[in-house]
Amino acid sequence: MEAKSNGFVMLTKLIEEFKLMSIYSPENLADIKITRAEIHRPGLPLTGFFDYFDPERIQIMGRVETIYLEKLSQKERYERIRAFMEKKPVCIIIARDLTPFPEMVDMAKEFNIPFFTTTISTNSFVSSLIASLSVHLAPTITRHGVLVEVYGLGILMLGDSGIGKSETAIELIKRGHRLIADDAVEISKVSEKTLVGKAPEIIRYYMELRGIGIVDIRRIFGIGSVKETEKIQLIVKLEPWVEGKLYDRMGLENENYNLLGIDIPSITIPVRPGRNLAVILEIAAMNARLKLQGYNTAEEFNKKLEQIYKM
Protein backbone atom coordinates (compact mmCIF):
# COMPACT_ATOMS: atom_id res chain seq x y z
CA MET A 1 0.00 0.00 0.00
CA GLU A 2 1.37 3.36 -1.04
CA ALA A 3 2.24 5.80 1.72
CA LYS A 4 0.28 9.02 1.86
CA SER A 5 1.19 12.20 3.68
CA ASN A 6 -1.44 13.83 5.86
CA GLY A 7 -0.71 16.83 3.64
CA PHE A 8 -1.41 19.59 6.13
CA VAL A 9 -2.32 20.52 9.66
CA MET A 10 -4.59 23.43 10.44
CA LEU A 11 -2.81 26.36 12.08
CA THR A 12 -5.65 26.60 14.62
CA LYS A 13 -4.80 23.08 15.81
CA LEU A 14 -1.20 24.12 16.53
CA ILE A 15 -2.40 27.29 18.26
CA GLU A 16 -4.57 25.18 20.57
CA GLU A 17 -1.88 22.52 21.07
CA PHE A 18 0.80 25.01 22.14
CA LYS A 19 -1.56 27.56 23.73
CA LEU A 20 -0.19 30.36 21.58
CA MET A 21 -1.23 33.89 22.45
CA SER A 22 -2.43 36.09 19.62
CA ILE A 23 -0.72 39.32 18.67
CA TYR A 24 -2.67 39.49 15.43
CA SER A 25 -5.11 36.93 14.04
CA PRO A 26 -6.40 37.48 10.49
CA GLU A 27 -10.04 36.84 9.63
CA ASN A 28 -9.13 33.76 7.59
CA LEU A 29 -7.18 32.16 10.48
CA ALA A 30 -9.45 29.09 10.55
CA ASP A 31 -8.61 28.37 6.89
CA ILE A 32 -4.81 28.54 7.12
CA LYS A 33 -3.00 25.22 6.57
CA ILE A 34 0.58 24.37 7.52
CA THR A 35 2.12 22.09 4.89
CA ARG A 36 5.81 22.07 5.85
CA ALA A 37 7.27 20.11 8.77
CA GLU A 38 10.38 22.32 8.78
CA ILE A 39 10.43 25.63 10.65
CA HIS A 40 12.69 28.64 10.10
CA ARG A 41 14.61 31.10 12.26
CA PRO A 42 14.63 34.33 10.19
CA GLY A 43 18.04 35.61 11.27
CA LEU A 44 19.49 35.73 7.74
CA PRO A 45 16.33 37.13 6.08
CA LEU A 46 16.37 39.98 8.59
CA THR A 47 19.87 40.85 7.31
CA GLY A 48 18.52 40.94 3.75
CA PHE A 49 19.52 37.43 2.60
CA PHE A 50 16.46 35.72 1.12
CA ASP A 51 18.02 32.94 -0.96
CA TYR A 52 16.20 29.66 -0.20
CA PHE A 53 13.67 31.49 1.97
CA ASP A 54 10.43 29.48 2.14
CA PRO A 55 7.36 31.48 3.23
CA GLU A 56 5.43 28.21 3.78
CA ARG A 57 7.55 27.50 6.86
CA ILE A 58 6.53 28.84 10.26
CA GLN A 59 8.96 31.60 11.31
CA ILE A 60 10.21 31.49 14.90
CA MET A 61 11.81 34.59 16.39
CA GLY A 62 13.79 34.47 19.62
CA ARG A 63 16.19 36.58 21.63
CA VAL A 64 18.91 36.52 18.93
CA GLU A 65 16.65 38.03 16.26
CA THR A 66 15.18 40.51 18.73
CA ILE A 67 18.55 41.77 19.97
CA TYR A 68 19.82 42.09 16.38
CA LEU A 69 16.85 44.27 15.42
CA GLU A 70 17.21 46.38 18.58
CA LYS A 71 20.75 47.34 17.57
CA LEU A 72 19.65 48.73 14.20
CA SER A 73 18.61 52.31 13.65
CA GLN A 74 14.87 52.89 13.54
CA LYS A 75 14.95 53.48 9.78
CA GLU A 76 17.08 50.38 9.06
CA ARG A 77 14.97 48.22 11.39
CA TYR A 78 11.82 49.32 9.59
CA GLU A 79 13.31 48.47 6.20
CA ARG A 80 14.56 45.05 7.32
CA ILE A 81 11.27 44.11 8.94
CA ARG A 82 9.31 45.31 5.92
CA ALA A 83 11.45 43.32 3.49
CA PHE A 84 10.84 40.23 5.65
CA MET A 85 7.10 40.79 6.11
CA GLU A 86 6.58 41.46 2.39
CA LYS A 87 7.43 37.77 1.81
CA LYS A 88 4.16 36.99 3.65
CA PRO A 89 5.31 34.04 5.79
CA VAL A 90 2.51 31.66 6.73
CA CYS A 91 2.90 32.46 10.44
CA ILE A 92 5.30 34.24 12.82
CA ILE A 93 5.78 33.20 16.43
CA ILE A 94 7.87 35.06 19.00
CA ALA A 95 9.28 32.85 21.76
CA ARG A 96 10.11 33.67 25.40
CA ASP A 97 7.12 36.03 25.57
CA LEU A 98 9.35 38.75 24.09
CA THR A 99 7.69 42.06 23.26
CA PRO A 100 7.14 42.40 19.50
CA PHE A 101 8.30 45.50 17.66
CA PRO A 102 5.38 47.85 16.88
CA GLU A 103 6.47 47.86 13.22
CA MET A 104 6.01 44.08 13.05
CA VAL A 105 2.53 44.26 14.54
CA ASP A 106 1.49 46.96 12.06
CA MET A 107 2.92 45.04 9.11
CA ALA A 108 1.34 41.77 10.24
CA LYS A 109 -2.02 43.54 9.97
CA GLU A 110 -1.05 45.14 6.64
CA PHE A 111 0.04 41.84 5.06
CA ASN A 112 -2.54 39.70 6.90
CA ILE A 113 0.09 37.49 8.60
CA PRO A 114 -0.83 35.43 11.70
CA PHE A 115 1.35 36.66 14.55
CA PHE A 116 1.61 34.87 17.90
CA THR A 117 3.75 34.63 21.01
CA THR A 118 4.64 31.88 23.47
CA THR A 119 6.23 31.86 26.91
CA ILE A 120 8.30 28.76 26.04
CA SER A 121 12.04 29.23 25.46
CA THR A 122 13.09 29.35 21.82
CA ASN A 123 15.01 26.05 21.65
CA SER A 124 12.37 24.12 23.59
CA PHE A 125 9.58 25.53 21.46
CA VAL A 126 11.41 24.82 18.19
CA SER A 127 12.06 21.21 19.24
CA SER A 128 8.47 20.65 20.36
CA LEU A 129 7.00 22.26 17.25
CA ILE A 130 9.19 20.22 14.88
CA ALA A 131 8.22 17.02 16.71
CA SER A 132 4.54 17.92 16.48
CA LEU A 133 4.72 18.84 12.79
CA SER A 134 6.64 15.64 12.04
CA VAL A 135 3.74 13.65 13.46
CA HIS A 136 0.98 15.70 11.84
CA LEU A 137 2.64 15.65 8.39
CA ALA A 138 4.28 12.22 8.50
CA PRO A 139 3.98 9.76 5.56
CA THR A 140 1.26 7.30 6.57
CA ILE A 141 0.02 3.88 5.49
CA THR A 142 -2.78 1.70 6.83
CA ARG A 143 -2.16 -1.99 7.43
CA HIS A 144 -4.50 -4.82 8.41
CA GLY A 145 -3.28 -5.98 11.80
CA VAL A 146 -3.41 -5.49 15.56
CA LEU A 147 -1.13 -3.17 17.54
CA VAL A 148 -0.60 -3.80 21.24
CA GLU A 149 1.78 -2.60 23.93
CA VAL A 150 3.39 -5.45 25.84
CA TYR A 151 5.79 -4.59 28.67
CA GLY A 152 6.24 -1.12 27.14
CA LEU A 153 7.08 -2.53 23.68
CA GLY A 154 4.88 -1.80 20.67
CA ILE A 155 4.09 -5.06 18.86
CA LEU A 156 2.34 -5.12 15.50
CA MET A 157 0.66 -8.46 14.78
CA LEU A 158 0.19 -9.31 11.12
CA GLY A 159 -1.51 -12.32 9.58
CA ASP A 160 -4.48 -13.54 7.59
CA SER A 161 -8.03 -12.89 8.82
CA GLY A 162 -9.10 -15.51 11.33
CA ILE A 163 -5.55 -16.42 12.39
CA GLY A 164 -6.21 -15.25 15.96
CA LYS A 165 -4.80 -11.72 16.19
CA SER A 166 -7.77 -10.19 18.02
CA GLU A 167 -8.18 -13.17 20.37
CA THR A 168 -4.48 -12.95 21.25
CA ALA A 169 -4.85 -9.21 21.89
CA ILE A 170 -7.83 -9.83 24.22
CA GLU A 171 -5.79 -12.32 26.25
CA LEU A 172 -2.91 -9.83 26.45
CA ILE A 173 -5.29 -7.10 27.65
CA LYS A 174 -6.62 -9.45 30.34
CA ARG A 175 -3.01 -9.96 31.44
CA GLY A 176 -2.53 -6.18 31.92
CA HIS A 177 -1.20 -5.06 28.54
CA ARG A 178 -2.76 -2.41 26.30
CA LEU A 179 -4.56 -2.18 22.97
CA ILE A 180 -3.70 0.54 20.47
CA ALA A 181 -5.49 -0.62 17.30
CA ASP A 182 -7.46 -3.59 16.07
CA ASP A 183 -8.09 -4.55 12.43
CA ALA A 184 -6.74 -1.32 10.85
CA VAL A 185 -3.50 0.28 12.01
CA GLU A 186 -2.46 3.71 10.75
CA ILE A 187 1.35 3.74 10.64
CA SER A 188 3.23 7.04 10.42
CA LYS A 189 6.94 7.63 9.79
CA VAL A 190 7.66 10.36 12.32
CA SER A 191 11.45 10.23 11.87
CA GLU A 192 14.04 8.32 9.86
CA LYS A 193 14.13 5.67 12.60
CA THR A 194 10.68 5.71 14.16
CA LEU A 195 7.26 4.40 13.18
CA VAL A 196 4.20 5.23 15.27
CA GLY A 197 0.91 3.37 15.02
CA LYS A 198 -2.62 4.33 15.99
CA ALA A 199 -6.19 3.36 15.20
CA PRO A 200 -8.42 5.32 12.83
CA GLU A 201 -10.56 7.55 15.03
CA ILE A 202 -13.84 5.86 14.16
CA ILE A 203 -12.68 2.44 15.44
CA ARG A 204 -10.38 3.60 18.24
CA TYR A 205 -10.62 1.37 21.33
CA TYR A 206 -13.08 -0.98 19.58
CA MET A 207 -12.41 -4.60 18.70
CA GLU A 208 -14.23 -7.14 16.53
CA LEU A 209 -14.58 -10.67 17.87
CA ARG A 210 -16.15 -13.22 15.58
CA GLY A 211 -19.31 -14.66 17.16
CA ILE A 212 -19.65 -11.73 19.56
CA GLY A 213 -19.33 -8.64 17.40
CA ILE A 214 -17.93 -5.22 18.25
CA VAL A 215 -16.76 -4.68 21.82
CA ASP A 216 -15.56 -1.49 23.55
CA ILE A 217 -12.26 -2.42 25.19
CA ARG A 218 -11.99 0.83 27.15
CA ARG A 219 -15.40 0.35 28.81
CA ILE A 220 -15.00 -3.36 29.46
CA PHE A 221 -11.42 -3.38 30.78
CA GLY A 222 -10.97 0.25 31.87
CA ILE A 223 -8.99 3.24 30.65
CA GLY A 224 -5.69 1.57 31.56
CA SER A 225 -6.26 -1.13 28.93
CA VAL A 226 -5.93 1.19 25.94
CA LYS A 227 -3.45 3.68 24.53
CA GLU A 228 -3.86 6.16 21.68
CA THR A 229 -0.46 5.75 19.97
CA GLU A 230 2.65 3.59 20.28
CA LYS A 231 6.02 3.18 18.60
CA ILE A 232 6.27 -0.01 16.55
CA GLN A 233 9.35 -1.87 17.77
CA LEU A 234 8.55 -5.49 16.89
CA ILE A 235 6.49 -7.11 14.15
CA VAL A 236 5.02 -10.55 14.78
CA LYS A 237 3.81 -12.45 11.73
CA LEU A 238 1.26 -15.14 12.61
CA GLU A 239 0.84 -17.99 10.13
CA PRO A 240 -0.80 -21.45 10.21
CA TRP A 241 1.51 -24.24 11.40
CA VAL A 242 2.85 -26.21 8.43
CA GLU A 243 4.07 -29.72 9.22
CA GLY A 244 7.61 -30.30 8.00
CA LYS A 245 8.42 -26.60 7.65
CA LEU A 246 11.66 -25.55 9.31
CA TYR A 247 11.03 -22.83 11.87
CA ASP A 248 13.76 -20.90 13.65
CA ARG A 249 14.34 -22.72 16.95
CA MET A 250 17.44 -20.90 18.12
CA GLY A 251 16.66 -17.29 17.35
CA LEU A 252 19.97 -16.69 15.59
CA GLU A 253 18.34 -15.43 12.43
CA ASN A 254 17.74 -11.69 12.53
CA GLU A 255 14.61 -11.08 10.51
CA ASN A 256 13.36 -7.61 9.57
CA TYR A 257 10.14 -6.29 8.08
CA ASN A 258 10.33 -3.10 6.03
CA LEU A 259 7.67 -0.47 6.51
CA LEU A 260 7.96 3.01 4.98
CA GLY A 261 11.65 2.41 4.36
CA ILE A 262 12.43 1.44 7.97
CA ASP A 263 13.52 -2.09 8.92
CA ILE A 264 11.67 -3.29 12.03
CA PRO A 265 12.78 -6.47 13.85
CA SER A 266 10.29 -9.25 13.18
CA ILE A 267 9.57 -12.85 14.06
CA THR A 268 7.28 -15.48 12.55
CA ILE A 269 5.14 -17.51 14.93
CA PRO A 270 3.37 -20.64 13.65
CA VAL A 271 -0.17 -21.01 15.01
CA ARG A 272 -1.87 -24.27 15.93
CA PRO A 273 -4.34 -25.41 18.63
CA GLY A 274 -2.83 -25.57 22.09
CA ARG A 275 -0.26 -22.79 21.68
CA ASN A 276 -0.76 -19.92 24.11
CA LEU A 277 0.01 -17.00 21.82
CA ALA A 278 -0.40 -14.38 24.53
CA VAL A 279 2.33 -15.95 26.65
CA ILE A 280 4.54 -16.40 23.59
CA LEU A 281 4.15 -12.70 22.73
CA GLU A 282 5.02 -11.73 26.30
CA ILE A 283 8.23 -13.74 26.04
CA ALA A 284 8.90 -12.23 22.59
CA ALA A 285 8.48 -8.72 24.05
CA MET A 286 10.85 -9.38 26.95
CA ASN A 287 13.40 -10.98 24.61
CA ALA A 288 13.19 -8.02 22.23
CA ARG A 289 13.75 -5.60 25.11
CA LEU A 290 16.85 -7.56 26.12
CA LYS A 291 18.16 -7.20 22.55
CA LEU A 292 17.53 -3.45 22.67
CA GLN A 293 19.65 -3.39 25.83
CA GLY A 294 22.47 -5.21 24.04
CA TYR A 295 21.91 -8.78 25.25
CA ASN A 296 21.10 -11.49 22.68
CA THR A 297 20.15 -14.75 24.39
CA ALA A 298 20.54 -16.88 21.26
CA GLU A 299 24.03 -15.57 20.55
CA GLU A 300 25.13 -16.06 24.16
CA PHE A 301 23.79 -19.63 24.17
CA ASN A 302 25.52 -20.32 20.85
CA LYS A 303 28.84 -19.10 22.30
CA LYS A 304 28.48 -21.53 25.18
CA LEU A 305 27.84 -24.39 22.75
CA GLU A 306 30.92 -23.45 20.73
CA GLN A 307 33.05 -23.42 23.87
CA ILE A 308 31.77 -26.87 24.88
CA TYR A 309 32.51 -28.40 21.46
CA LYS A 310 35.99 -26.86 21.46
CA MET A 311 36.87 -28.55 24.76
Q: Is 144 a catalytic residue?
A: yes
Question: Among the options 36, 96, 183, 237, which is catalytic?
Answer: 183
Catalytic residue check, 41: no
**Chain centre distance of CA 267:** 23
Selected catalytic residue, list 71, 193, 245, 249:
249
Catalytic residue among 33, 88, 144, 303: 144
- 3-state DSSP helix/strand/coil % of the chain, to nearest 5: 35, 30, 35
Whether 77 is catalytic = no
The residue annotated as part of the active site, out of 57, 80, 136, 165, is: 165
Give the C-alpha separation, 6 to 3, whole Å.
Answer: 10
Phi-psi region of 261 (alpha: psi -120 to 50; beta: other; left: phi over 0): left
Write the CB contacts of 161 (distance below 8 Å, at least 6 apart in sequence). 144
Rounded CA separation 309/302 (Å): 11
- In terms of Cα–Cα distance, which of 165, 155, 283 is closest to 230? 155
Instruction: Give me the active site residues, please.
Output: 144, 165, 183, 249
